[in-house]
Structure 1
């Protein structure tokens, strides 16, 4: 079995490689060549932590495995560790033997950012100029870096419940040579693309905060009860997702479906746009929304890619297991 340590990931996995891996697996899902297993996600009653498993099988890429991990909200303040902790396990689909164990913390941030940037590539207007960010935590910086590569953005605007964290976004924008402005939520009407990346259980982005033609990537809702945007916004938008079953059960669409504002059959897979079986955006005035719930196949795709790179560069550790 191969082990790729967390410390090696940054030097191995690029944003381009993560984008390619996620885009391919989304297309495979839409072609019914890859499928996710049911998600297990539980509050463990210790440290306010959420812990669970996401797995699946990509028949096209012959990738089988799972990611184990979750969210420990007090890690940063108590231990100086990031709050999201995870490990990816890959298995040989021919034999069932353990194939690799890969540090999943950075990979989770990269694959989540890759998913939203794939949605921007395929759904945002070509002339999008202003990028809006809701959320300014650890994963928001990854989201911003990846998104800035998808269009010729001329400005970044940002809002966070705790505004003292907004310099995290400003620094990334400045590094990219793009001006940054902190705004109140009504100011999001200026944005052509909006990314929400929070752990909220009540909506901050309302329908009135979004202008016609905007593309929204909702990336924070991955658990029952979480919510980042008003349900009415989904009824105004053409909604896409990574996986419909997760979208309506643990994703942003759960609330709109529960309220009767949206039906599961109204939601399309982003992979269908990638492989050409769905037209995607059909007008400059259309609001498109990507409900990025975070599927196990994303984790497996980037982990498999990083294992290949680790072997190629001689930094994978082989153990007799």
Structure 2
């Protein structure tokens, strides 16, 4: 078994490699070559933590495995990030474990890559203003990926705790872009692309806030009850996701689906746009991508990093 420690990931996996891996696995899903397994996600009743497993199998690349981990909201007091995970890969021919990979940075990179993929395929033409809702650890990854794969000239942002907006301001400065802290009505009116990356359980961005043409990537923590967007906003948008079943069960679209203002048939897997059998944005005023974080994304980036680690002598082989 190969082990790639968390400390090695930053020197191995680039945003470009993460983008390529995620785009490819979305396409494989749309072609029917890859499938996710049912998600297990539970509240532990200890440390307010959410813990679970996401797994799947990509037959096109012979990638089999799972990610184990979750969200520990009190980790800041221990000097740790809230999201903790490890990815395990298995030999699909024998079932033997083939790799264990630190999943924290990979999760951040693949989540940012997924929203960047959605921006590539769904953003309105000429998008120049990026709106950020949320200023937690993941927000910097989201902004960097969006700017790397988009053509933004300005970043505007909002966070429920304004003192945390320095993370967005500092990241924008690093990227050479002006940043402005705004309220949500201004953000919804001015942003061409909006990334929402929070752990909210009640809507932040309301229907009345958003003046199209706009693309929204809803990338916050997915579980039963999570909610960042007004269901009325969801109901008037053209909807996309990584996996439809997960979106209506633990993702952003669960509330509109529960209210029966949308159905699963109204949601398109983004892989269909990537492989060219869906027009994508088309004439829509507002598009929303619900990034629920499927297990195949984790496996794709983990497999890529194992190959890089072996090539560069940074993987540790352990007998089992």
1:277-318 deviation digits (Å, cap 9, x = unpaired): 1000113x6211000000000000000000000000000000
Match of 2:306 in 1: 307
Match of 1:161 in 2: 160
Match of 2:174 in 1: 175
Residue 76 of structure 2 is aligned to residue 87 of structure 1: no
Aligned partners of 1:221 and 1:250 also within 8 Å: no
- Size of the alignment, in residue pairs? 319
Deviation at 1:221, TM superposition (A): 4.0
SS class of match (1:12): coil
Residue 223 of structure 2 is aligned to residue 223 of structure 1: yes
Distance 2:120 2:314 in 1: 32
Match of 1:296 in 2: 295
1:89-110 deviation digits (Å, cap 9, x = unpaired): 0000011010000000000000
Q: How does 1:1-321 map to 2 (within 5 A)?
A: 1-76=1-76, 78-188=77-187, 189-283=189-283, 286-321=285-320
Distance 2:183 2:28 in 1: 39
Q: TM-score, normalised by structure 1?
A: 0.98
Distance 1:201 1:281 in 2: 28
Distance 1:164 1:123 in 2: 32
Distance 1:251 1:221 in 2: 8
SS class of match (1:172): helix
Distance 1:221 1:41 in 2: 12
1:212-259 deviation digits (Å, cap 9, x = unpaired): 110000001410101000001111100000000000000000000001
Distance 1:299 1:126 in 2: 30
Q: Hey, which bits of structure 1, 4+ residues long, moved more than 2 A?
A: none
1:162-188 deviation digits (Å, cap 9, x = unpaired): 010001011111111110000001011
Distance 1:163 1:31 in 2: 43
SS class of match (1:262): coil
Gaps of 5+ in 2: none
Q: TM-score, normalised by structure 2?
A: 0.99
Deviation at 1:211, TM superposition (A): 1.3
Aligned partners of 1:202 and 1:227 also within 8 Å: yes
Distance 2:209 2:26 in 1: 29
SS class of match (2:11): helix
Aligned partners of 1:126 and 1:151 also within 8 Å: no
Aligned partners of 1:236 and 1:287 also within 8 Å: yes
CA RMSD of aligned residues (A): 0.7
Gaps of 5+ in 1: none
Distance 1:233 1:27 in 2: 27
Aligned partners of 1:67 and 1:88 also within 8 Å: yes
Deviation at 1:150, TM superposition (A): 2.2
Distance 1:297 1:19 in 2: 13
Q: Which moved more, 1:149-158 or 1:8-17?
A: 149-158
1:104-135 deviation digits (Å, cap 9, x = unpaired): 00000000000000000010023001000000
1:142-161 deviation digits (Å, cap 9, x = unpaired): 00000011222111000000
